[in-house]
Amino acid sequence: MAKWGMVIDLDKCTACQACVVACQAENNVPISNPETAKAGRSIHWLEMIPFVDDEYPHVRMRLLPRPCMHCENPPCIKVCPVGATQISSEGIVGQINARCIGCRYCTTACPYTVKYFNWFKPEWPKGMERYLNPDVTVRYNGVVEKCTFCHHRLQKARDLAQYEHRELGPDDYIPACVQTCPAEAMYFGDLGNPKSTVSILSQSKRAFLLMEDLGTHPKVIYLSEGV
């Protein structure tokens, strides 16, 4: 059984935000506007987060691409009263939009703030709906949405492998963000397989997890900058 996980090498990352836009294009994320942004209600399944530390002139700025951590022990699923957010046997934390009642307990429970509530009916001006991805359902207002590790791609890849009578290969399934990353700083694969690239990288001495002390066991692993 695969345990899907991601490694992000911050030493290679250039904070260009290609992953951010690739994710929005792939997953039919509602587009923002000045009012939505001002209210803090823009939706970014994957967001570039700045951390500014220390004082001038020794100030440091760290820039972290933050998708859903797909925790092995996700706080969000424990608070959902209707079982709308669940972890799959392969470790992907998913959101069943049709079951969501919009209580937003999970958006509060998630320490990484990766869950987004649809405050508005998603709308695309006439003509713009043409670019919507036919593989991904558009969400409606009143439900929560989140990063799915592009699991529709997993379904497609698995169908294709089955059709071609072969096992799912290591490169058959990668999320849109990893595919586009210009610096080749993002890796994706099976953390359960000790020989996979992500497993090997996760053993690096540069590896760290976000808010590890909370016991969430994230499956997104960062590699720190520097030697």
Partner 1 sequence: MKKDILRRDFIKILSGTTTFGLAYRYGLFPHLISGPVRDALALENDDISLRPPEEKWETSICQQCQGGCGILVRVYGDRAVKIDGNPLHPINRGRLCARGQSGLQYLYDPDRIKGPMAREGARGEGKWKPISWDQALAELGDKLKTLRNQGKSHALAMLTGPQRGLAKNVSDRFMEAYGSPNLIRNQSDRPSGKTPAFHLMQGSDAGITYDIEDTNYILSFNSGLLEDHWSSVQLSRAYGKFRRGNKDERGKLVHIEPRLSVTGAKADQWVPINPGTEGVLAMGIASVIIIERRYDEEFIDERTLGFEDWTDEKGASHPGFKTLVIQEYPLEKVAKVTGVPRDMIMSLAREFVHHQPGVAIGNDGEWIGNQGIYNRMAIHALNGLVGNIQKKGGILSNARLPEIPLPPFSPDPVSAKGRSMPRIDGAGRSRYSLVQDAPENLAEQILKKQPYPIEILLIHGANPVYESPEPDRLVSALNQIPTVVSFSSSMDETTRYADIILPDSIYLEKWQLDTSYTLKGNPLVSVAKPVVAPTYDTRDTSEILIALAGVMGKPVSSAFPSAKSEDLVKASLHPLHASASGEAFGAQLEELWTKLLEQSGWKVRSQEPFDKFLADVQERGGWWDPVYYPWEWERALSTPSGKFEFYSLTARKYFSDLKGMDKDLALQKIPSPVGMDKLDAACLPLADPGVSKENDTLYNLELNPYVIPILSGLNQTNQPWLQDISGFHVYQEWHTWVEVNPETADKIGIQNGDWVWVESPKGKIKAQTRLFKGAMPDVINLPVGLGHASGGRWTTGIGENVLKILLAEKEPFSGKVHFQRSRARLTKTNA
Q: How far is the CB of 151 from partner 1 (least distance, A)?
A: 10
DSSP 43: -
Residue 22 CB partners (closer than 8 Å, separation 6+):
176, 177, 179, 180
Question: Smallest distance, Å, CB 85 to partner 1?
Answer: 16
CB of 212 to partner 1, least distance (A): 23
Residue 134 tokens read as 């036919």
For partner 1, give the closer residue by CB, 79 or 172: 172
Residue at token pair 């053993």: 203
Of 4 and 216, the one with the shorter C-beta distance to partner 1 is 4
- What's the min distance (Å) between Cβ of 161 and partner 1? 9
Alpha-carbon gap, residue 70 to 149, rounded angstroms: 8
Between residues 13 and 144, which has the closer beta carbon with respect to partner 1?
13
* Residue 137 CB, nearest approach to partner 1 (Å): 4
CB of 215 to partner 1, least distance (A): 27
Which residue lies nearer to partner 1 by CB, 31 or 207? 31
Residues that bind partner 1 (CB under 8 A): 1, 9, 11-18, 20-22, 24-26, 28, 31-34, 37-38, 42, 44, 47-48, 50, 52, 54-57, 59-63, 89-90, 125-138, 140, 152, 155, 158, 162, 176, 179-185, 225-227
Estimate to the nearest angstrom the gap between the alpha carbon of 26 and the chain centroid.
12
**C-beta of 128 vs 215, nearer to partner 1:** 128
**Token pair of 153, please?**
């791609």
Q: Which long-range contacts (CB under 8 A, 24 or more apart) does 74-77 make?
A: 74/110, 74/216, 75/109, 75/110, 75/111, 75/214, 75/216, 76/106, 76/109, 76/110, 76/115, 77/106
- Exposed/middle/buried for 32, CB within 10 Å: 0-12, 13-18, 19+? middle
Nearer to partner 1, 42 or 107 (CB): 42
